[in-house]
Amino acid sequence: MITRSTIDQVYEAARVEEVIGDFVVLKKSGSNFKGLSPFSQERTPSFMVSPVKQIWKDFSSGKGGNVVAFLMEHEHFTYPEAIRFLANKYNIEIEETEQSHEEKEKANARESLYLVNQFAQESFTQDLWEFSEGKAIGLSYFRERGFTDEIIRLFSLGYASEQRDRFYKKATKAGYAENYIVETGLIIKNERGAVDRFRGRVIFPIRSMAGRIQGFGGRILSATLKTAKYINSPESEVYHKSKVLYGMFEAKKAIAKEDICYLVEGYTDVIQMFQQGIENVVSSSGTALTPDQIRLVRRLTPNIVVLFDGDSAGLRAAIRGIDLILEQGMNVRVCSFPEGEDPDSFSKSHTKEEISKYLKESARDFIQFKTDLLLQESGNDPVKKANTIREIVKSISKIPDAIQQEIYLKQCASLMDVSETVLFNALAQEQNKKKPPTIINTQNKGLNEGLIQKTPVQDKQENPLLVLEKKIISILLQYGNQEADFDDLYVSYDEEGNIIEEPKIVHSKVHEKIFLDLQQDEVELIQPEFQILYKQLIQHFQLERDVKPEKIIQQENPDLGKILSDILFEDEVHQLHDWEKKNIFVKDRKSAVGQLVSETILTFRRHLIDQKIQSLMDDAKKEDATEEDISFLEEVIQYQNLKKVLSRKLNRVL
C-alpha cells in the first residue's frame, strides 16, 4: 500500500494543468484554462481547469475533481494506478507501508515479472525490425496481412526467433533472474535445458488496462510443424487470461467516448479493425468469455456488440457469451459477417464508413439472434421449439432489470407466437430455481402487513435541505476563515409563552458561526457526502486554522472530489460565457459574506422547523388523536410562531 507521505508528495508535485494538458488542448481563459471536453462531442469549450485550486470541471458531462480523478475518469486507472502514474511522471520514489518479509518478497516478485515481460516485449519488437530473420519472416507476415508499419508499432508487435534459446540468452545476459523468466512462461526449463516458449512465432503483447505487459500471444508461421497455431503465456502472478482482454489498453478511450464496445475473437481482428478506424474493439484472445472480462468492458460502457464469424463454431461461442453478458446487466447485440468473412477480412476490404454502416445495420438484438438461430435448428418439431423457447426464457432470466425482462418477454411472445402469460410463468419458474427456499411465518401475518410498504424517499434534487447543505459546504470551503459581522437573532420566551426577539450583531469567523449554530440546533447534515466534508472542514479549521482548497480536494473518493469541484467552480463558471466582455459583471460574494451566512442558516432552520411540524402532525395521525386530546397542537403553534419570526427576518411572506 502506498504511504500517505508519498501520496502527499505526488499531490504537491503534480500540476493539474500539466497532466491534463497531455490529453486535452488547453487555452488560457482568465486565471483558468479552457478546452473541449474529452468526455463528450462538443464544439464550444466547456472543460475548465483551475491551476490555483488544482481542479478541473467538465460542464458538458458534469464530471470534475482533482488531477487523480481526471486520470481515473479519462484513463480508467484505479486510485493506486493513478498515483503511480503521477509518481513516475514527476520522478517521485514510491514508498510502501510497512510490509512483512513475505509481503515484500511477493511485491518484489510481481514487479520483477512485469520487468521481465517489458524486456521481452522490447526484445521481440527489436528482433522484428532489426534482426534479419525477424524482418524476413515476421515483418513480411504482418505486412502481408495488410498491417501498416504505424499500426505494427502501435500494438508493439514482435517476432521470436526460431533459435532454441535466443531470448533466454539475451535475458540472462541482461541480468534478469532465471526463476522470473521461467515464471513468466517465456522459457520452458527441463532436464535438457532452457527453451524459448514462443520460438518461431510472431508476437502479440497483451497489456493491462494501465498499459503494463502482462503476457504474450504467439502465432506459428510454419505450416509443417505439428503444433498449436496460437499459444498464450501460461498463468502467472501478473497474467490471468480470464481477466484480460486483448486491445483493451488501446481501445479504452474510444470505448468510453463512443459508449459501445465491439467484442471479436482474435488478435488480428482487433488490429485490422483498429487500423480502419474502428478503435473501440477488444478480443477475448480465443478463450471462452468470462465474467471478469465482461466487467472490464462494463467499467467503460454498458453497451456491447459481439462480432463473430458465420461458421457454426462462431455461432455457438456467441450464444455462450450472451448469457454471461446479460448476467452483468449489460445491453448486448450480436452481429455476424457474410459467409467466408471474419472481422479481419471484412475490415481489410471495406472503408471505415462501410464497416460502421454494416455494424449498425446488421447488429441484432440478442432475442432476434437467438430466436432465429434456434428456430433454424428446431424446424417444425414442436418439442424442439418448446426447448428453444425455454432456452430464450432462461437467457431473459439472467437480466437483473425487471423492466427489461418484461420487454424482452413480450418481444419473445410476439416472435415465437406464444402467449405472454405462459412466458411469464416460465420466467417465474426459472427465477425460483435460483432462490433458496423461504420459511413463511403465518402466525403474525396480519401484524406485519402494514410494515411492508416503505415511505417513499424524497428525491435528493427536490429536497431543499440538500441544496442548503451544499451551500453550507460551499461557504465553509470558500470563506470559512474570514471574519464578518452577522446580523443574528436570539429567540426566548416570556412567562406566558410569547416569543421575545433580540437582534444582535455578532463578529466572528465564518466557520465558528456555522459550527456553533448547527451545534446549538443539534443538527446533522442529511447527505452522507456532505457529512464527511463538513467534518473534514471543521476539523481542518480547528487544527490548522485554515483550509487550502488544493489540500481538501485530495479525496480518494471520486464522488467527494466531484462535489468539491462543482462548488469551487461556481464563482468562475461565468468565464465560459465571457459575460464581462458583454458588460455584465458578476457580483463578488465575498463582499456580503456575513449576510450570505445569516440567510443560509436562517433558511436552513426554517426548513428544519417545517420538518418538525410535519413530523408532529404525522405522529398525531398515527396515534389517532381526538379533538379533546390534542396537546401536541401547542407545540405545533409554538413552532409556527418561530417560523414566522424567521420568515420576517428573511423578509419573506408566508
Which residue, of 222, 239, 256, is where some domain finishes?
239
pLDDT band, residue 100 (cuts 50/70/90): low
Q: Model-level pTM? A: 0.61
Cell of 512: 465558528
Integer-rounded Cα radius of gyration of the chain: 32
281 has a pLDDT exceeding 90 = yes
* DSSP-derived secondary structure letter, 53: T
Q: How confident is the model at residue 642 (pLDDT cuts 50, 70, 90)?
A: low
How far apart are alpha carbons 265 and 282 in whole angstroms?
8
Are residues 390 and 286 part of one domain? Answer: yes
Q: Which residues pair with 489 in a beta bridge?
A: 503
Range of weakest confidence among 297-301, 309-313, 423-427 = 309-313
Does residue 228 share a domain with residue 261?
no
Q: Where residue 109 sits, what CATH number does that domain have? A: 3.90.980.10
Greater model confidence, 612 or 359: 359
Among candidate residues 130, 16, 124, 106, the one with its CA nearest the CA of residue 65: 16
Domain assignment present for residue 577? The answer is no
109 and 134 fall within a common domain: yes
Is residue 609 situated within a structural domain?
yes
Residue-wise pLDDT for 508-557, tens only, equals 788 787 887 777 666 678 788 888 888 888 877 877 766 766 667 776 77
Q: How confident is the model at residue 316 (pLDDT cuts 50, 70, 90)?
A: low
421: pLDDT strictly greater than 80: yes
Q: Are residues 478 and 616 in the same domain?
A: yes
Instruction: Assess if residue 582 is contained within a domain.
Output: no
CA distance 175 to 418: 69
Question: What is the rounded CA–CA span in Å between residue 643 and residue 225?
Answer: 89
Can you say whether residue 629 is alpha, beta or left, with left for phi > 0 and alpha for psi between -120 and 50 degrees? Answer: beta
Predicted local distance difference test score (pLDDT) of residue 130 = 94
Same domain, 332 and 465: no
Beta-carbon contacts of residue 319 (< 8 Å; ≥ 6 apart) = 370, 373
Contact in structure between 257 and 223 (CB atoms under 8 Å): no
Give the CATH number of the domain where residue 41 resides.
Answer: 3.90.580.10
Q: How far is CA 352 from CA 185, 190, 274, 355, 357, in A?
A: 38, 49, 10, 5, 8
Burial 563-592 (b: 16+ CB within 10 A, else e): bbbbbbbeebeebbeeeeeeeeeeeeeeee
Nearest to 363 by CA among 263, 253, 257, 248: 263
- What is residue 286's predicted lDDT score, i.e. its pLDDT? 66
CA distance 54 to 76: 20
- Compute the average pLDDT of residues 429-454: 46
Last residue of one domain, picked from the residues 36, 54, 89: 89
Residue 457 pLDDT level (bands cut at 50, 70, 90): very low
Does some domain include residue 211? yes
Q: Say what the pLDDT of residue 501 is.
A: 62
Q: Are residues 82 and 181 in the same domain?
A: no
* N-term to C-term CA, the chain: 57
Say how many domains are in the chain.
Answer: 4
User: Residue 361 belongs to a domain with what CATH number?
Assistant: 3.40.1360.10
pLDDT of res. 206 = 96
Q: Tell me the per-residue pLDDT of 191-201, one tens digit each, with 9 for 90 and over.
A: 888 999 999 99
Domain check: are 515 and 478 in the same one?
yes
Q: Given the DSSP bridges, would you call strands 303-308 and 281-283 parallel, antiparallel or unpaired?
A: unpaired
- Where among 59, 89, 119 does a domain terminate? 89
What pLDDT was estimated at residue 416? 79
Mean pLDDT score, 133-146: 95
The answer to whether 337 and 346 have CB atoms below 8 angstroms apart is yes
Instruction: Please report whether residue 404 resides in a domain.
Output: yes
Regarding whether 286 and 383 lie in a shared domain, the answer is yes
Average per-residue pLDDT for the chain: 79
Nearest Cα residue to 112 out of 277, 236, 21: 236
Cβ neighbourhood burial of 116 (10 Å; 0-12, 13-18, 19+): buried
Would residue 451 count as lying in a domain? no
Residue 22's pLDDT is: 81
pLDDT band at 268 (very low <50, low <70, confident <90, very high): very high
Both 473 and 599 in a single domain?
yes
The range of the structural domain enclosing residue 542 comes to 460-571+588-649
Among 221, 191, 212, which residue's Cα sits nearest to residue 118?
212
Does any domain span residue 387?
yes
Distance from C-alpha of 237 to C-alpha of 235, rounded to nearest angstrom? 7
Are 550 and 544 contacting, i.e. CB atoms less than 8 angstroms apart? no
Shared domain for 546 and 403, answered yes or no, is: no
H or E segment and range at residue 216: strand 213-220
State how far the Cα of 131 lies from the Cα of 166, in Å rounded to an integer: 12
Once rounded to an integer, what is the mean pLDDT over residues 401-429? Answer: 84
Same domain? For 640 and 510 the reply is yes
pLDDT of residue 649: 60
The average pLDDT across 570-592 equals 51
Check pLDDT > 50 for residue 59: yes
C-alpha distances in Å from residue 84, one per residue of 96, 475, 553: 11, 34, 18
Nearest residue to 59 (alpha-carbon basis) of 461, 564, 576, 582: 576
Q: Given this model, what pLDDT does residue 251 score? A: 92
Q: Where are the alpha helices (DSSP H) in 37-78?
A: 67-74
- From residue 571, alpha-carbon distances to 423, 552, 574, 590, 611 in Å are 56, 18, 7, 11, 31
Q: 474 and 427 in one domain?
A: no
Which stretch of DSSP H or E encloses residue 633? Answer: helix 632-649
Residue at 526 is within a domain:
yes
Instruction: Give the per-residue pLDDT at 102.
Output: 67
DSSP for 95-145, please give it.
Answer: PBPP--HHHHHHHHHHHHHHHHHHHHHHHHHHHHHHSHHIIIIIIHHHHHT
Q: Which of 133-142, 246-255, 400-409, 614-623 has the highest mean pLDDT?
A: 133-142
CA distance 10 to 12: 5
Neighbouring residues of 483: CB distance < 8 A, sequence distance ≥ 6: 507, 508, 509, 510
C-beta separation of 282 from 297 below 8 A: yes
